[in-house]
Structure 1
Amino acid sequence: MNRIIKALVPVIITGASITCAHAEVTSLQQQLDVALYKDGHQIATGTSIIKDEIVGKAPYAMRSGTEIGYGKCTKVGNATSLASDSVFVGLAMFIDPVVVDGTRAKLSVSVQDTEFVGKHEDGPADCRSETVSTKGLKVNKVIVDIADGQSIDVPLGDPHYRLALKLHNADL
């Protein structure tokens, strides 16, 4: 019995040390608050943990809309091939945390707010393809820097739209 206790003491001490060390580590979760406005009216809002100690970095993503299908024809010599594809139409935001540390984040921001205008066909008579026409906002991979506790507006290049971001510790 005494041998078992002597053998278990180092294991118990090590386990207790690990538990104490883990309890002293403060959790660091960076939260991103997102709000998209069109002509002064809020059209989308969301909140996401973009970094924590378990998952690491995680993007903010939202999408509301539909896929519009279309056909593509390709002719090489006497061979004709047909394929189908689709284009997304609607509201979508994707904010990818490129770098996140305890006090700052560098984000890659993509925003889309489009509507379907129509389809038209083009190409030769024996190999017609469809083209989907859309209109609206399409902004891809705008890089922004934001500090913890700071609110910023992302430049979208269209005065009708405003994207407001706020980064803060999720525990606050």
Structure 2
Amino acid sequence: MNSISKTLGAIAICASAIANASAASPAQQVDVSFYKDGHLVSAGTSIIAHEFGQSPFAYSSGTHVGFGTCHLEGATMRLQSESRFVGLSLVVKPVDVDANRVRLSVTAQDTEFVGKRDVGTADCHSEVVDVKGLEATNVTLDVADGQSVDVPLGDAHYRLVLKLHHADL
């Protein structure tokens, strides 16, 4: 009976410590709204819990287009198969987190396939996949708790809004 009391006491102490840690650094939530020409194309949320690390908000819809590359290394020719994603993709990744502010890295893409073309020499030619559309990579910004921010994507057709607030867990 005494060992059960000690075990229950240890569990209660651990539960209290976890509750206190959660209260000291509550999880934050990033609400993501991605618009094209005024129409919502993707929305969601990502929870950022300090003690459990951060995971990105990620969304993609599209396809991979295959292509080949040739590399000459001295007298050796090396052929390699590669692919390029074409379509809609959005990644919002926490980089640095504190109690009232989060630094985020944003990569947004909305591309369409234009075609493939050959480049290189006659004895070692490669393919290049041509696309057109939005390609904003590693846009970094700070968002404070309770703040809503428009991410500068460099294309007036697109609007990405991020809002940071404490998560209601």
Q: Between Structure 1 and Structure 2, how many residues are aligned?
A: 167
Instruction: Describe how 1:100-119 pairs up with structure 2 within 5 A.
Output: 100-119=97-116
Q: Answer whether contact 2:50 2:97 (CA < 8 A) is retained.
A: no
Structure with max Cα Rg: 1
Instruction: Describe how 1:15-164 pairs up with structure 2 within 5 A.
Output: 15-24=11-20, 25-26=22-23, 28-49=26-47, 51-53=48-50, 55-164=52-161
Structure 1 consecutive aligned stretches of length 4 or more whose deviation exceeds 6 Å: none
Q: Secondary structure at the match of 2:124?
A: coil
Relative to 1, partners in 2 of residues 1:70 and 1:19: Cα closer, same or farther, differing over 3 Å? Answer: closer
Q: TM-score, structure 2 length as denominator?
A: 0.86
Q: Distance in 1 between matches of 2:79 and 2:17?
A: 61
Partner amino acid, structure 1, of 2:160: L
Partner amino acid, structure 1, of 2:14: I
Offset at residue 99 of structure 1 (A): 1.4
Q: Distance in 1 between matches of 2:51 and 2:117?
A: 49
Gap runs ≥5 in structure 2: none
Relative to 1, partners in 2 of residues 1:77 and 1:58: Cα closer, same or farther, differing over 3 Å? Answer: closer
Instruction: Give the % identical residues.
Output: 50
Gap runs ≥5 in structure 1: none
Q: Secondary structure at the match of 1:58?
A: coil
Offset at residue 17 of structure 1 (A): 3.4
